């Protein structure tokens, strides 16, 4: 089945930090789409496409958002940086096998780096809508506080979801940081639970590979690892 073609209008653009650009689109055709948190759209740029995960609430009709690393030079980054409010573009979607599970384990652990956390925000928003009772923890790997983004959204989710907590893991922390240090892969050994936990792992390829290797070696079934 061919993916749906979308006509979008830029509603808002904002830099979440020095690297991450958020673009909110109004849906023109069709007026609404249905997506599962974790899925992405492929933005059409000339005769090529670039995939970007959706970070928005899947229950809010009429608009979608992407939050992407766009400070570097590249076809997709340059295109997104050039967008202005009112510009119209086309995309394909929703697409992708990465999806929030329909059945939840007693514990849910999210492990993400960089903009890999973007679809996790959409997932966490949906878990809040569902009032899921699982214990939910997000480990967010960054270099230091200067790379931080989505803190306000995560803090809001923590207020709404009393069973949710998030922890930043800094690989190059600045003086005064008293939180978790090192790489986000370092936390895996302490959260391995082969029976009662579901894992979402999204981010840099090397990190994803290392985390999955640790989880599988620790006895976690691949069906409980979503990436």
Domain 107-226, CATH among 3.30.160.620, 3.30.70.2470, 3.40.50.80, 3.10.590.10: 3.40.50.80
Task: Please tell me the distance from the alpha carbon of residue 120 to that of residue 67, in angstroms, as a whole number.
Answer: 11
This prediction's pTM:
0.96
pLDDT digit string, tens, across residues 43-58 = 999 999 999 999 999 9
Residue 149: C-alpha distances to residues 45, 50, 72, 146, 221 (Å): 27, 22, 17, 9, 31
| Sequence ranges of the domains in the chain | 5-95, 107-226
Instruction: Evaluate whether 226 touches 200 at the Cβ level (below 8 Å).
Output: yes
Q: What's the CATH number for 5-95?
A: 2.40.30.10
pLDDT digit string, tens, across residues 4-44 = 999 999 999 999 999 999 999 999 999 999 999 999 999 99
């Amino acid at each position: 089945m061919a993916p749906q073609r979308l006509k979008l209008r830029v509603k808002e653009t904002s830099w979440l930090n020095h690297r991450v650009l958020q673009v909110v689109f109004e849906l023109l055709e069709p007026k609404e789409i249905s997506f599962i948190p974790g899925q992405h759209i492929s933005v059409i740029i000339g005769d090529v496409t670039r995939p970007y995960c959706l970070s928005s609430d899947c229950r809010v009709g009429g608009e979608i958002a992407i939050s992407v690393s766009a400070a570097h030079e590249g076809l997709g980054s340059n295109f997104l940086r050039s967008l202005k409010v009112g510009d119209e573009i086309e995309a394909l979607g929703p697409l992708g096998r990465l999806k929030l599970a329909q059945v939840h384990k007693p514990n849910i652990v999210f492990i993400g780096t960089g903009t890999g956390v973007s679809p996790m925000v959409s997932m966490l928003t949906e878990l809040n809508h569902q009032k899921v009772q699982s214990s939910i923890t997000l480990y967010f790997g960054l270099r230091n506080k200067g790379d931080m983004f989505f803190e306000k959204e995560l803090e809001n989710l923590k207020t709404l979801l009393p069973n949710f907590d998030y922890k930043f893991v800094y690989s190059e922390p600045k003086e005064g940081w008293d939180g978790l240090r090192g790489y986000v892969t370092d936390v895996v050994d302490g959260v391995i639970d082969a029976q009662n936990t579901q894992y979402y792992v999204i981010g840099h390829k090397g990190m994803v590979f290392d985390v999955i290797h640790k989880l599988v070696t620790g006895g976690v079934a691949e069906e409980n690892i979503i990436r």
